[in-house]
Chains A and B, each alone.
Chain A
């Protein structure tokens, strides 16, 4: 389901360098300012830990994706 709060968070991080730096240093301090569900917060933190959301380029993000192509 589409989440406005999640979209707002990501847009803010990637349009405002100060927010991006703050998120990289202390993600939870930024998350608390948005109306996110617990599930969304957990997913964001996991993604940041696994993929380095704010400091990865496309090659790094791609390399971190699981290799298998499922039945697709």
Chain B
């Protein structure tokens, strides 16, 4: 049974992981600033936001009715996500409000590095909750495989020519590696720590993967409607769809996103309106719904095995 104030319990566990930094308050404060940036106060107001950081705990509880044994891993995954966020900001260099923009690359990289190190230490605390060494090793191995895959995705994203970024299948594979993996990894951790067999673990990772894909595509849509991705000339799913149009639409978007020559002198708002009027946003919306539907299909299958999925439905509302 999940207690009230689970966010506070998770916050306390994160504080324990940060204990090695307690002798240097400025470093500790910077690390906390990074953690809060990723998730203010760790958990946002869940009446508006979904409790993504709690996902491993919720999966664990759904399977076995207990969540405590997943707590150290849940906190460790938060640290890894925050580290990845900082490294991403360093590599993309497109966010003027980021930690590297504010403190410089050196401090940002060092902060991200210690978050990775403290996360690895955090996984070792699982033994204090009765998790076997074999399971701890398996978890660490798999989590690191997920993050290695994310780095591979980032490498592809950073090194490919813009023209290579315009194929939908390749783009969906890329966001699976770079973004959706986080939800898949969280579900994997929760299921493994609940003592699930491989079949059940596979179901939960499928759920997590579809959840993550839907969330990233929603982010793509917001990136267009909020103009951020247009201003940064970022090629995401709506743009890929619209680039497939023949004629003037293709020429305009090709100029704006691939050649970056503003030959047709389109303002960000004009580009946004074009992407709406050609159905690009709507196409991305349908794709998002497909992934959500697939995730819901897995939940329905899990429900037939008498797994309590109620806490997981909220991620698909």
- Residues on A lying within 8 angstroms of B by beta carbon are 1-2, 6-7, 10-11, 13-15, 39-40, 42-44, 46-47, 50-51, 53-54, 56-59, 61-62, 65-72
Contacts and interface: CB of A to CB of B under 8 A. Distances in A.
B151 to A, nearest CB: 16
A39 B298 CA distance: 13
B215 interface: yes
B222 to A, nearest CB: 6
A47 B49 contact: no
Interface in B190-219: 212, 215-216, 218-219
Interface residues of B, number: 48
A14 B238 CA distance: 14
B148 to A, nearest CB: 18
Interface in B24-67: 38-39, 44, 48-50, 52
Contact of B286 (A14, A43, A58): A43
In the complex, the 8 A-B pairs of residues with the closest C-beta atoms, listed nearest first = A14-B279, A62-B225, A68-B49, A43-B289, A70-B215, A2-B168, A43-B290, A10-B279
User: Main secondary structure on chain B at its contact with chain A?
Assistant: helix
Interface of B: 38-39, 44, 48-50, 52, 81, 85, 167-169, 172, 179, 182-183, 212, 215-216, 218-219, 221-222, 224-226, 241, 244-245, 272-273, 275-279, 281-283, 285-290, 292-294
A14 B244 CA distance: 13
A67 B282 contact: no
A72 B292 CA distance: 17
Contact of B48 (A51, A68, A71): A68
A39 B219 contact: no
Contact of B290 (A14, A15, A40, A62): A40
A15 B283 CA distance: 13
A42 B216 CA distance: 20
A61 B167 CA distance: 24
A46 B222 CA distance: 19
A65 B317 CA distance: 11
A10 B282 contact: yes
B276 A61 contact: yes
A46 B293 CA distance: 10
A7 B245 CA distance: 10
Contacts of B222: 62, 65, 69
